Structure 1
Amino acid sequence: RMAARLVARPDILAVRRETVEHPFGSIKQWMNQGAFLMRGLEKVRAEFSLTALAYNLRRAITLIGVPGLIRAVQA
């Protein structure tokens, strides 16, 4: 089914690479987070949640700056 979907829409894989996989590559590179440090599903979920929060804060600061982020949090 996947091969048929790719034949029907060959551009979709490039879109996925640009949008979905970028955060994970950035997390691995910027934060040196190649593998989880914790074991167990609950602990891994917590670790990933903290990593995603750090990534999102870093992206927000990059996009709107610290003053913009502070204004957004206060609103």
Structure 2
Amino acid sequence: MDAKDTFSSLPWWVKWIAVPVIALVVFGGLISAIVGFIVGLLFKVLVFAALVGGVVYLVRRFTSASSSSRGGW
């Protein structure tokens, strides 16, 4: 008797309710830790991209302003 035969003889609620609930209880902390890590990493990547974009914008703005004022001399 293999696992497929074992699960096929069980009622539907065991396969579709009890087993997933047990898996969430056992692995819930791991799943939430992984999801939290991924969300935190994506947030940090977005903050990094925003900061780099802001620095590039400021550098271009000030270098274009200083080069146009030097051209008047």
TM-score category (smaller protein): 0.3 to 0.5
Q: Greater Rg, structure 1 or structure 2?
A: 2
TM-score, scaled to structure 1: 0.33
Q: Which has the higher helix share?
A: 2
Q: Which of structures 1 and 2 has the larger relative contact order (alpha carbons within 8 angstroms, sep 6+)?
A: 1
